[in-house]
Structures are given as structure tokens and as C-alpha cells.
């Protein structure tokens, strides 16, 4: 069956409210770890991850950093207007918009939008600063502030809140600014965490290094659409969200070197989508397309003509970067990975337990097949915690090395 015809109702399960983790554990790596390989399931803790991976494993990490992208205003009437900054309105890199001074336009989710009258300006004051918001489109908000010398990144730190998912039914707390980010977060730009990576502590990373494992870091700025359930009955009516990507040439070289020489472990669905997007970008280059940035569409894997070996796709990307004198690949992806997809690079996936009827669950089902149900039933019956601050899993592909 073509993924367009998949019914999202087939990827559902009963998730009780009390199984959704509302807060992180005190110790990141104390979370539980479900391991599934060749249909066999075992239980452990995340601190034992180095014992589960063979020497020579390459872990691919997403080093994005979550920003305080949620801003709460109140009208003179007292009505609450909540804004979630999603992406720059001009479509450029988020890093450029974070550096803007005095004014910045953003695509936003607007909570209680009907109460926000046209041409009405909302104002906040804090720390000797002022932030003003006005709507210049249905979902576009223009922010202006004083002192104008502040960057928009500074403004978010002063006025913003950690954008916890709505299923965490509580306000954000000071601890969330650290705990809703990974210990290796580098590049600001996400409005949701790469949650599989939240389990990693400095001690676990050192133990992996001592075991002979290595890491490669890439960046996918996670958008709010990542965690939203699919609302259409069939996947052909679902529009996949676009997310910005940046990958260093050295990270691509690390994946190319390990390909066929040891397990490649995608840490999180965002790392997996970025890895697989590399293949489709490489295929385009291999076929002679003149590209300077990644731009992978939602249905690319299911409609692209021709194929190329995974190694040749990476070689094409590396040749292109060298020919242009570039040290990193940038761009975006809307790649949807669903059952029927053939994975090119990862032998294993580290991931949390995801919402019913979500594109993240579709990716897990594509990776392990119908055994996803056995894994989720085991997790539900054995007390695992679900979603962003919940427990993790290590899932091996059936034909993994």
C-alpha cells in the first residue's frame, strides 16, 4: 500500500493520562530503556545504554537547542493571548532572525486569537525592557522592542517561556530551561525538544566513548508540528511540517566512513529524518540536479525516479560540498517516513514512546514493522512513562548489523 493511502486509525492505541510524564526524573539517565531486537524485548535503564551497543557504534545526535519561544500577553481586558514563535516570516534561517535587532516578524501559533483585535498592539514590560506585538497577517506577528540594541534571541530570554507541549498540563518552571534541552544542545532554533536525547548525561556519553563508540552531530530545528496528531483520515490529506537542517561536512564523512563498518544509531526521530533526507538530497545531486541547499519534499521517497546506493548518495553530497568550498549542508526537509519506507543508514533507533496517530509513531512503525504494537503494549503493561519527559527505547532494525 502506498503511504498516501494509509489510515491513521491503524496507528492508534489507548494512552491513559496518568502515563504521560509531566516532569523529568532527577537523573536524566535513570529513565527506563526498553530494548527490542529480533522481536525480543528486554527492560533496562538508560545508564546501561553503553552495554547495549557494540564497540564501533556511531551515534547520530541532534544538537539543536530549544528556545523560550512561548510568549504570554494580556489584553487590557485581562484576556490571555499566547504566542508560539514557529519560524521566521521571511523564510530565512532562524539564526539570522534571532540576530535581528529592534524588529522581527514570525509565523506564530496564536492562542485565543479571536480575542486579539486587528491593529491592536500587545505590550509587555520586564527587566527594563519593552516588547510589543501586532498582527500583520493571519498567523504572522511583528515584534518590536526597546532597547532596540537587543537581539531577538535576547528578547526571548527576557520575555519567553519554555514551550512545553500541551499534554504537560502545567506551567513551565525554571528547571525546564535546562531539562527540556539536551546536555549537548548547541544551536538555538527548536520549539520542541529532540526528546530521545534528553536521557543522555555527560556520564553516559563518557561511557560510550570508553566503550569505543563515537558520535556525529547534526542539527534539525524541531517544529511544533512534530508532535501533533494527524487529523486527516488518510495520510494523503496530511501536510507535513517543514523543518530547517544543517549538517557539517565532517558529520556526513563520519556516517560515510561507518556505513557498512559498524552500527549506525539514530538518536531520535529528528536525527533519523535528517539522515534519510541526506539520501534523497544525494540522489538529486547524483542525477545531475544543480542544488545549493537541501529541499526534500514530503513524498520524495515514494515518487522519486531512480535509485542510488546509500554510499553513492553520500559521496555525491560530499563532492558537491567540496566543489563549492562549503563546510556544511543547509536547507530544509518535509520528509514523511511511514510504513513502506526503506531505510538507508540507521541500524538502530533510540526514541521515546510517542502519541497515538502521530507521524512519529508512523516512523517507528516503518522501522520495526508491526512489532511496534508489541513494544508499546509491553511499555504500557510494565509501567513505562510516555512522551517528551518519559522513558526511552532502543529499537533495532531486523536486518541490522
Residue 401 forms part of a structural domain: no
Same-domain pairing of 209 and 356? yes
User: Are 66 and 163 spatial neighbours (Cβ–Cβ below 8 Å)?
Assistant: yes
Same-domain pairing of 228 and 282? yes
User: Are 361 and 11 spatial neighbours (Cβ–Cβ below 8 Å)?
Assistant: yes
Residue 23: CA count within 13 A, CB half-sphere: 9
| Cα-Cα-Cα-Cα dihedral sign, residues 226, 231, 234, 240 | negative
pLDDT of res. 401: 58
pLDDT of res. 349: 98
CA distance 282 to 319: 10
37: domain CATH number?
3.40.1780.10
Same-domain pairing of 98 and 40? no
User: Are 367 and 397 spatial neighbours (Cβ–Cβ below 8 Å)?
Assistant: yes
Residue 302 forms part of a structural domain: yes
Residue 170 forms part of a structural domain: no
Closest CA to 316 of 286, 344, 280: 286
pLDDT tens for each residue of the chain, 401 residues long: 788 889 999 999 999 999 999 999 999 999 999 999 999 999 999 999 999 999 999 999 999 999 999 999 999 889 999 999 999 998 888 999 999 999 999 999 999 999 998 889 999 999 899 999 999 988 999 999 999 999 999 999 999 999 999 999 999 999 999 999 999 999 999 999 999 999 999 999 999 999 999 999 999 999 877 766 788 888 888 888 889 999 999 999 999 999 988 899 999 999 999 999 999 999 999 999 999 999 999 998 888 777 899 999 999 999 999 999 999 999 999 999 999 999 999 999 999 999 999 999 999 999 999 999 999 999 999 999 999 999 999 999 977 65
Closest CA to 396 of 266, 306, 278: 266
Residue 367 forms part of a structural domain: yes
Residue 345 forms part of a structural domain: yes
149: domain CATH number?
2.40.10
Alpha-carbon distances, residue 76 vs 113, 114, 116, 136, 261 (angstroms): 15, 15, 11, 20, 63
Same-domain pairing of 362 and 376? yes
Same-domain pairing of 93 and 216? no
Residue 168 forms part of a structural domain: no
Residue 325 forms part of a structural domain: yes
Residue pointed to by grid coordinates 501536510: 239
Residue 140: CA count within 13 A, CB half-sphere: 9
Give the range of the structural domain holding residue 279, as residue numbers without chain letter. 3-65+180-396
pTM passes above 0.75? yes
Closest CA to 159 of 225, 82, 89, 100: 82
pLDDT of res. 79: 93
Same-domain pairing of 90 and 61? no
Closest CA to 10 of 18, 1, 20, 19: 1
Q: What's the domain count of the chain?
A: 2
Residue 174 forms part of a structural domain: no
Same-domain pairing of 203 and 151? no
Last residue of some domain: 159, 191, 219? 159
Nearest 5°: phi and psi at 12?
-125, 160
Amino acid at each position: 500500500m502506498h503511504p498516501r493511502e494509509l489510515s491513521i486509525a491503524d496507528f492508534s492505541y489507548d494512552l491513559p493520562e496518568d502515563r504521560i510524564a509531566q516532569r523529568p526524573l532527577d537523573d536524566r539517565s535513570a529513565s527506563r530503556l526498553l530494548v527490542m531486537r529480533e522481536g525480543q524485548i528486554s527492560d533496562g535503564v538508560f545508564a546501561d545504554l553503553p552495554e547495549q551497543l557494540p564497540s564501533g557504534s556511531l551515534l547520530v545526535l541532534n544538537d539543536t537547542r530549544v528556545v523560550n519561544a512561548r510568549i504570554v500577553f494580556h489584553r487590557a481586558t485581562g484576556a490571555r493571548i499566547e504566542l508560539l514563535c514557529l519560524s521566521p516570516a521571511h523564510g530565512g534561517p532562524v539564526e539570522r532572525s534571532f540576530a535581528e535587532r529592534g524588529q522581527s516578524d514570525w509565523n506564530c501559533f496564536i492562542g485565543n486569537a479571536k480575542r486579539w483585535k486587528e491593529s491592536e498592539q500587545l505590550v509587555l514590560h520586564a527587566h527594563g525592557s519593552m516588547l510589543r506585538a501586532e498582527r500583520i497577517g493571519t498567523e504572522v506577528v511583528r515584534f518590536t522592542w526597546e532597547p532596540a540594541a537587543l537581539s531577538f534571541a535576547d528578547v526571548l530570554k527576557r520575555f519567553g517561556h519554555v514551550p512545553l507541549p500541551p499534554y504537560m498540563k502545567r506551567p513551565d518552571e525554571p528547571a525546564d530551561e535546562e531539562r527540556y534541552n539536551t546536555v549537548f544542545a548547541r544551536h538555538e532554533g527548536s520549539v520542541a525538544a529532540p526528546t530521545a536525547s534528553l536521557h543522555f548525561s555527560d556520564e553516559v556519553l563518557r561511557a560510550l566513548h570508553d566503550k569505543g563508540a563515537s558520535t556525529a552531530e547534526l542539527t534539525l530545528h524541531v517544529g511544533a508540528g512534530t508532535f501533533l496528531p494527524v487529523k486527516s483520515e488518510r495520510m494523503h490529506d496530511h501536510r507535513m511540517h517543514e523543518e530547517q537542517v544543517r549538517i557539517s561536512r565532517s558529520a556526513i564523512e563520519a556516517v560515510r566512513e561507518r556505513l557498512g563498518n559498524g552500527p549506525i544509531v539514530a538518536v531520535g526521530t529528528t536525527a533519523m529524518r535528517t539522515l534519510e533526507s541526506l539520501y534523497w538530497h544525494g540522489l538529486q545531486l547524483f542525477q545531475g540536479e544543480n542544488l545549493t541547499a537541501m529541499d526534500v519534499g514530503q513524498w520524495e521517497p515514494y515518487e522519486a525516479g531512480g535509485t542510488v546506493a546509500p554510499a553513492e548518495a553520500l559521496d555525491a553530497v560530499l563532492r558537491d560540498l567540496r566543489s563549492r568550498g562549503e563546510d556544511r549542508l543547509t536547507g530544509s526537509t518535509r520528509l514523511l517516513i511511514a510504513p513502506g519506507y526503506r531505510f538507508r543508514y540507521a541500524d538502530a533507533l533510540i526514541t521515546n514512546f510517542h502519541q497515538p496517530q502521530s507521524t512519529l509513531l508512523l516512523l517507528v512503525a516503518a522501522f520495526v514493522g508491526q512489532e511496534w504494537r508489541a513494544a508499546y503494549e509491553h511499555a504500557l503493561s510494565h509501567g513505562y512513562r510516555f512522551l517528551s519527559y518519559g522513558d526511552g527505547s532502543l529499537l533495532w532494525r531486523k536486518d541490522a548489523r
